[in-house]
Structure 1
Amino acid sequence: MSPSPAPPARGTRLTALVVGLCWLVVLFDGLDMFVYGAVLPHMLEEHALGLDAAKAGDLGSYATFGMLLGALSAGAVTDWIGRKKTIVACTAVFSLASALCAVAGGPGVFGLGRFIAGLGLGGLLPTTITLVSEYAPRGRGALVVGTLMTAHQAGGILSGLVGLWTGGEGGWRVAFWICVAPLFIGVPLVVRFLPESMGFLLARGRTEEAAALAARHGVPLPVPEADRPAAGERWSALLALFRDGLWRTTLLFWLASFGGLLLVYGVSTWLPTMMRGSGYELGSSLGFVVVINLGGIVGMLVGGRFSDRYGAARVAALWFVLTAVGIYTLGVRMPLALTYAVVFLTGLFLFSAQAMLYAAVAGRSTADHRATAVGWVSGIGRFGAVFGPWLGGQLVASEAEGWGFTAFALTAVLSTLFLVLAGLRNAPAVPSGGPAERLSAAG
């Protein structure tokens, strides 16, 4: 058993710099991810690219399938080339892919663009979560991750506004051109100002670079963790999650993540269309995109604070229960003001439930394995992200929007069950074991 790791080097200004730059690129990540759902009602109205509801669901799944592959490979890539280079590469990839969507002349090219965008989107989120976790103040890891994830919901709000601004014929192409902006804004800022993970530099034996970074920002150099695996042993972190009887806990976390991302991407893609099918006007339906993401921002901050106090897995389980209640209630026609309130509360619980699951895993992983642990729990969840848009498309195509609310609510209940079975005890403040014990403690 390795000794307890020393905390990574942290300083208020350095933490703010890392979180701020990561927040910016995750904002663009959220915009690119949610913009398809925001412009989809317009695309279906004008039969853009020959789309119907079933084909639209398939196209929505292309991006999330790309995200699955991006998330699964993110851990190994970032542990190999570094957090900073991975963030730059992912941002550039989904920006350029949006340009391909903007010029697409048919569903094939458009779907290819969404798939390529998904590769970058899927790799970016776990990498930024890893980096901000390493620079988070002790005891504030979940809050810092929650703060970062507010950017994803802010991107969702921005996508809703873009959907409203680009409502004319062919306006969806303008929306995707807007999503190319990160290439000219986010990438240069990250290249110039974002510091590399000191833990990563020490893990790769680049001690002088880590020392220079610490000196430049006026923070202490973290003590290297003992018993680091060799550079070629990149699968050791994954294998450790299945040793000593921990396979059950690992699989339960993965199943909870599957359900969580099915909800996030299924609801995000089809909420405007399902609400319109329930009798709401298009303007109100797009307004729900803004409101549900506003709720998501509040939920990230509230969930992060509660998770640091009571345990991230406990909060995630409770949030999934409340998500189920909210989504099921949306299937009932209500006065518009009440519907907006329910949409806001649903967003508060929906998005932060999954974020707190990530926070639980990130907070209990060592520096050299953290990206792999977060990447895999995110990557396995991407199977749900692929299934969610497809499921919504099939239900809408069958004119069974009401059943969509029920199906998504049941998914939230199942994620709660998986977390309960994994165990919801509080984890120790400073885990003493390796990455496997840390993931178990995260329950």
Structure 2
Amino acid sequence: MKTINSAEVIANSKFNRFHLSLLIWSFLIILFDGYDLVVYGTVVPILIEKWGLTPVEAGAIGSYGLFGMMFGAILFGTLADRIGRKNVIAITLILFSLFTFLCGFAETPTMFSTYRFLAGLGLGGIMPNVIALLTDYAPKTMRSMIVSVVLCGYSVGGILAPLLGIFIMPKFGWESIFWFAGLPLVMLPIMYKQLPETASHLIRTGKRDKLVATLLKVNPGMDIQQNDEFEELREKDTKVPIIGLFQDKRALSTVMFWIAFFSCLLMVYGLNTWLPKLMIDAGYGLNSSLAFLVTLQGGAIIGTLIIGRLCDKYGSKKMLVPMYASGAIALTLLGFSGNSFVIYLLVAIAGAATIGAQNIVQAYVSQYYPPSIRSTALGMASGIGRIGGMLGPLLGGFLLSVSLPIHLNFIAFAIPGLLAAAALAIVPVRNAHSNKVDTNTRRDSINDAAV
């Protein structure tokens, strides 16, 4: 009988079929998450005309879903650290898929807003838990890259929404692109069977057989027996996971992460909701304006993949701070350029530095905290961020209602990018949980060599 640390087994594993299966399922989940978030921005010009909405009213409807996401992120993020990430992923997928599907049957703004709020509960809870589960099982050398690849699904879904808007809405109406969101309900039984539960939860609940079977899939080369003992890196434990976010000198980091999430999501949801409308006001047709939304998401995919790989090599903080700043610069310039090529280029950069940066900062946060409070950390940061996300559509609606020049609208969305860069620059890297794991691993190696 020997003692095994599951975190070290996972950290030292090589990417294999187990990781690929987890990556594919996570990618599909986040794809529909992104689709459901962006789909409202695709139909908002039509709903304004159909229901006679003012820009402020349309912005408020966009914020109802984000209001639900705030509660969902906090509630389901904390709950997952108690009942397991796998169970919470299933619950939140049912919520966001079912009620987004029902939005296609809404006949009034009130009914539509209610469905968006209920869908938002699931949307807010699913991403923190998918990211936490990915981080739980990702090899140490490619954690940021794996999470970044999966989070590109958000942008793929974000591209799919306006594309369906261009090709499907003229034939089948605006309702049809909401019906597409019901597909995850069909794949749920297979997904639930194949997704693993996190190792720390299996240890805490005494499910030894599942733990051994899972670790052998993660690292087939390991010699693990049923009678082996399992240990984890010891952290200060608390019955209230939120308190753990402020222990071990993490209080400053926690607050700075919250500020960064708030600022970035204000930009992300403001742009996703109002970019087509802003471009229509600038003289572009509906289809051309939706193409800018596609470009925004395309830039996010490229930025996420490139910067995500660099984060594993040089560190997330070193990449994210200049990324946020470049987004602020691109958005500022976007309001002044009249050349179509330059505008598309700036929109792509803005996508990489807003949506792409938000993808990567979630990977960073998931590694910064220990597994026992990882979902709580992501859920709380996402929940605080959703407040900024709610303000984004409202801010855009207010700015359009007072008829400001176009360039001032873009500058308003650029300012939070500088705030996010400043907040993340303050985060002390030395207090990250991933650094403690690496330190303990090196210490054990030195002790083994001495013996």
Task: Name the TM-score, length of structure 1 as normaliser.
Answer: 0.90
| C-alpha separation in 1, matches of 2:23 and 2:107 | 38
129, 150, 153: which is aligned to 1:151? 153
Between the aligned residues of both structures, percent identity stands at 35
Aligned residue-pair number = 426
Give ranges in structure 2 of 5+ residues lacking alignment: 440-451
Alignment match, 2:205: 204
Determine which structure has the larger helix proportion and give its number: 2
**1:189 correspondence with 2:190:** yes
Structure 1 residues 220-239: aligned runs within 5 Å: 220=222, 223-227=230-234, 233-235=238-240, 237-239=241-243
Give the aligned residue type for 2:388.
G
Which digits, 9 at most, give the CA deviation of each residue in 1:3-43, with x for residues without a partner? 99524374511111111101001101111110000111222
Which digits, 9 at most, give the CA deviation of each residue in 1:225-256, with x for residues without a partner? 154777xx442x42133246542332112111
Alignment match, 1:357: 361
| C-alpha separation in 1, matches of 2:370 and 2:9 | 11
Give the aligned residue type for 1:27.
L
Q: 1:50: Cα distance to partner?
A: 3.4
Q: 1:411: Cα distance to partner?
A: 0.9
Give the aligned residue type for 1:408.
F
| C-alpha separation in 2, matches of 1:218 and 1:5 | 11
Q: 1:203: Cα distance to partner?
A: 2.5
Alignment match, 1:412: 417
| C-alpha separation in 1, matches of 2:434 and 2:235 | 21
Which digits, 9 at most, give the CA deviation of each residue in 1:319-353, with x for residues without a partner? 11010011111112422222112211221222121
Give the aligned residue type for 1:311.
G
| C-alpha separation in 2, matches of 1:379 and 1:63 | 12
Give the aligned residue type for 2:415.
L
Alignment match, 1:105: 107
292, 298, 301: which is aligned to 2:302? 298
76, 79, 99: which is aligned to 1:77? 79
Q: Which has the larger radius of gyration?
A: 2
124, 127, 140: which is aligned to 1:125? 127
Contact in 2 for aligned 1:98/1:117 (Cα 8 Å): yes
| C-alpha separation in 1, matches of 2:413 and 2:217 | 49
Give the aligned residue type for 2:193.
R
Alignment match, 2:448: none
Alignment match, 1:310: 314
**1:324 correspondence with 2:331:** no
Structure 1 residues 28-107: aligned runs within 5 Å: 28-44=32-48, 47-107=49-109
Contact in 2 for aligned 1:8/1:199 (Cα 8 Å): no
| C-alpha separation in 1, matches of 2:70 and 2:56 | 21
Contact in 1 for aligned 2:370/2:433 (Cα 8 Å): no
Which digits, 9 at most, give the CA deviation of each residue in 1:256-296, with x for residues without a partner? 11001111111111111111112222211100111111111
Which digits, 9 at most, give the CA deviation of each residue in 1:181-217, with x for residues without a partner? 22123x1331232222223211222222212333466
Alignment match, 2:352: 348
| C-alpha separation in 2, matches of 1:159 and 1:323 | 23
404, 407, 424: which is aligned to 1:402? 407
| C-alpha separation in 2, matches of 1:409 and 1:77 | 34
Alignment match, 2:10: 8
In structure 2, the CA distance between the partners of 1:253 and 1:429, relative to structure 1 (3 Å rule), is closer
Structure 1 residues 369-388: aligned runs within 5 Å: 369-388=373-392
| C-alpha separation in 2, matches of 1:118 and 1:428 | 30
| C-alpha separation in 2, matches of 1:7 and 1:348 | 34
Contact in 2 for aligned 1:49/1:105 (Cα 8 Å): no
Task: Name the TM-score, length of structure 2 as normaliser.
Answer: 0.88
Structure 1 residues 232-311: aligned runs within 5 Å: 233-235=238-240, 237-243=241-247, 246-311=250-315
Contact in 1 for aligned 2:9/2:215 (Cα 8 Å): no
Give the aligned residue type for 1:146.
S
| C-alpha separation in 2, matches of 1:386 and 1:51 | 18
Give the aligned residue type for 1:402.
H
| C-alpha separation in 2, matches of 1:169 and 1:218 | 50
| C-alpha separation in 2, matches of 1:228 and 1:245 | 12
| C-alpha separation in 2, matches of 1:355 and 1:216 | 27
Alignment match, 1:440: none
In structure 2, the CA distance between the partners of 1:16 and 1:433, relative to structure 1 (3 Å rule), is closer
SS at structure 1 position matched to 2:141: coil
Of the structure 1 ranges 318-327 and 359-368, higher mean CA displacement relative to structure 2 is found in: 359-368
Of the structure 1 ranges 336-345 and 397-406, higher mean CA displacement relative to structure 2 is found in: 397-406
Q: RMSD value over aligned CA atoms?
A: 2.5
Give the aligned residue type for 2:436.
P
